[in-house]
């Protein structure tokens, strides 16, 4: 169903966490059902199995945390929307199990506070805000330059909460189990703030960041379902529909790869024409700045990626020009600024109650809100493909990577044709998840270098963020 915004709304209120152990018990009881069916009971093709590596690391950390020896933050990879369910499984099932096996006594609940992005509730509904609040979650507006209330509450929970805290350092899903998006510096900054707060309180706990990765694979390669999905996408694009009879093909990978390339080529051509005709945008030559050499241009994969990056640049500029924003930073940074700019037009911080405005002002506010929502759609298309590379499938032509890429294309087409922010993805088959807990990174050991001056602080945050990224990268490649 379309979910476009037609009316301005009052400000987004902060939702304080109100951890309720009974709500946690309910979530833990429902977890097996949610993993298998989530919100679509007629499609039993969710996650059938979860394997956990190094859960004993967390069991030992929880024991130390409950003894008042450490404070720690779990920084988990966030490739898909199912990740929070996997994290709930890790803490409610895997960690208690390994603790019992190793004779480690832990107090209930084995749970964590967590930071979630405030905008999730705009898509899912107010009920999710109540649910997250009662599970111990605290919101932050990720695109806001200084969300003082959100930062203050998260910082307080890290230093003083009765449970550890969990954060996704990538800030958003990227749809790839095998690619990590650039990390936001907030996780490292929270780590140093926690050390600072403990020092001010004359407390000696060590502060740690624990990297955790989540990777998904299919129990059985879903080649037939993938064939169906690609045929559906080809039909939506007006391309001749191809079909692949799996039983007659020894190696279907090359056929599927060519179908995805054809879809990508067609979509790029359509969108380039769209922005040229209706937004009066010029398409600079791919090699106009010398970034891509002649050999790369001759490579179809590299050429497609170059065209994709050019198109993403144009789409962001179309939105930035409307909101009066400078084109600074990487694509993710720019998407976050655009998101916050759009929300400021829709959810009016400058109006106490939008319904009290005179009719004329209400009409103008609605007009601005509707147009802002339309402009934000350019940003949504960009963030869909922010992690796409020209070598992801070629490096490992497995069913999982074909499916991830095809589903990203599905997301784009669904957003355009159905006028929706949150496409209902088709399920391709039963999946299994692998959760890997990495070695804790001590923030306390890096405190001396951080606390010198502002430059030292920036360098400390940057280096810790880089180290966390490398730890996560090593875990997904292990």
The pLDDT tens digits for 347-369 are 988 888 888 899 999 999 999 99
Alpha carbon distance 223, 253 (integer Å): 9
The verdict on 267 and 338 lying in the same domain is yes
| Domain match, 231 and 186 both | no
Q: Distance (Å, rounded) from C-alpha 382 to C-alpha 231?
A: 24
Within this chain, do residues 397 and 459 fall inside the same structural domain, yes or no? no
Residues 194 and 323 in one domain: no
pLDDT above 60 (res 445): yes
Q: Which domain holds residue 275?
A: 225-418
In a domain, 380, yes or no: yes
Report yes or no on 423 lying in a domain. Answer: no
Domain limit, last residue, from 390, 418, 446:
418
Interval 395-402 mean pLDDT: 91
What pLDDT, in 10s, does the model give residues 79-115? 988 899 999 999 999 999 999 999 999 999 999 999 9
Which pLDDT value is given to residue 44?
A: 43
Distance CA 234, CA 439 (A): 45
Query: Is the pLDDT confidence value at 14 over 80?
Result: yes
pLDDT over threshold 50, residue 215 = yes
- Using an 8 Å Cβ cutoff, are 341 and 119 in contact? no
**What's the pLDDT at 290?**
44
Q: Are 414 and 439 in a shared domain?
A: no
**Between residues 471 and 288, the one the model is more confident about:** 471
Identify whether residues 286 and 181 lie together within a single domain. no
| High-pLDDT (> 90) share of the chain, % | 66
Q: Which residue has the higher pLDDT, 262 or 296?
A: 262
User: What are the DSSP E strand ranges found in 219-373?
Assistant: 347-348
Q: Give domain status of residue 424, yes or no.
A: no
Buried/exposed 277-301: b ≥16 CB within 10 Å, e otherwise: eeeebeeeebeeeeebeeebeeeeb
Q: Is residue 150 in some structural domain?
A: yes
Q: Examine the fold and report which residue of 418, 440, 461 is the final residue of a domain before the chain moves on.
A: 418
Whether residues 234 and 369 fall in one domain: yes
Q: Are residues 65 and 190 in the same domain?
A: yes
In this structure, the answer to whether residues 206 and 234 fall within a common structural domain is no
Number of domains in the chain: 2
Whole-angstrom distance, CA of residue 62 vs CA of residue 96: 10
Mean pLDDT of the chain: 89
Q: What gap in Å lies between CA 30 and CA 466, rounded to an integer?
A: 37
pLDDT of residue 39: 45
Same domain, 322 and 470: no
The CATH number of whichever domain residue 115 belongs to comes to 3.40.1130.10
Do 301 and 393 lie in a common domain? yes
pLDDT for 21 equals: 96
Give mean pLDDT, residues 144-172.
91
CA pair distance 36, 14, nearest whole angstrom: 32
293-336 pLDDT tens trace: 555 556 778 889 999 999 999 999 999 999 999 998 889 889 99
Q: Which pLDDT value is given to residue 1?
A: 33
Is 27 part of any domain? yes
Q: Mind listing the pLDDT tens digit for each residue in 453-476?
A: 889 999 999 999 999 999 999 999
**For residue 67, is pLDDT > 60?**
yes
Is residue 373 domain-resident? yes
Residue linked to tokens 């030992």 = 60
Cis status, amide bond into 431, omega within 30 of 0:
no
- Identify whether 4 is part of a domain: no
Within a domain: 425: no
pLDDT top residue among 395 and 463: 463
Is residue 300 located within the same domain as residue 363? yes
């Amino acid at each position: 169903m379309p979910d476009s915004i037609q009316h301005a709304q009052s400000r987004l209120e902060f939702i304080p966490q109100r951890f309720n152990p009974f709500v946690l018990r309910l979530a833990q009881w429902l977890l097996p059902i949610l993993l298998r069916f989530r919100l679509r009971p007629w499609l039993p093709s969710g996650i059938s199995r979860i394997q956990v590596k190094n859960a004993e690391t967390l069991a030992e950390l929880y024991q130390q945390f409950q003894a008042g020896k450490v404070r720690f933050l779990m920084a988990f990879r966030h490739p898909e929307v199912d990740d929070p369910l996997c994290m709930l499984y890790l803490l409610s099932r895997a960690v208690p199990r390994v603790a019992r096996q190793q004779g480690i006594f832990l107090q209930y609940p084995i749970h964590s506070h967590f930071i979630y992005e405030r905008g999730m509730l705009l898509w899912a509904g107010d009920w999710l805000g109540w649910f997250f609040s009662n599970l111990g979650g605290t919101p932050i507006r990720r695109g806001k330059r200084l969300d003082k209330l959100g930062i203050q509450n998260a910082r307080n929970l890290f230093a003083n909460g009765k449970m550890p805290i969990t954060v996704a350092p990538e800030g958003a899903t990227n749809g790839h189990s095998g690619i990590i998006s650039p990390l936001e510096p907030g996780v490292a900054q929270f780590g140093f703030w926690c050390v600072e707060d403990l020092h001010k309180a004359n407390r000696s706990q060590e502060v740690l960041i624990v990297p955790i990765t989540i990777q998904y694979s299919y129990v059985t390669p879903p080649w037939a379902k993938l064939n169906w999905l690609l045929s559906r996408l080809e039909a939506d694009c007006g391309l001749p529909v191809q079909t692949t009879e799996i039983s007659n093909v020894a190696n279907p990978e090359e056929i599927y790869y060519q179908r995805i390339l054809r879809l990508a080529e067609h979509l790029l051509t359509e969108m380039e024409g769209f922005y040229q005709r209706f937004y009066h945008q010029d398409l600079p030559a791919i090699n106009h700045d010398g970034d891509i050499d002649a050999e790369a241009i001759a490579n179809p994969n590299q050429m497609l990626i170059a065209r994709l990056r050019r198109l993403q640049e144009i789409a962001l500029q179309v939105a930035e020009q409307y909101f009066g924003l400078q084109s600074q930073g990487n694509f993710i940074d720019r998407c976050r600024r655009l998101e916050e700019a759009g929300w400021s037009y829709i959810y009016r911080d400058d109006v106490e109650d939008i319904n009290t405005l005179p009719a004329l002002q209400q009409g103008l506010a609605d007009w601005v809100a509707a147009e802002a929502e339309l402009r934000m759609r350019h940003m949504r298309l960009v963030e869909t493909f922010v992690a796409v590379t020209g070598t992801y499938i070629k490096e490992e032509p497995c069913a999982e990577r074909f499916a991830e890429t095809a589903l990203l294309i599905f997301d784009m087409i669904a957003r355009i044709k159905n006028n929706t922010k949150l496409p209902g993805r088709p399920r391709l088959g039963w999946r299994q998840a692998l959760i890997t807990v990495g070695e804790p990174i001590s923030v306390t050991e890096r405190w001396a270098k951080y606390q010198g001056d502002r430059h030292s602080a920036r360098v400390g945050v940057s280096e810790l963020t880089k180290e966390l990224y490398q730890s996560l990268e090593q875990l997904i490649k292990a």
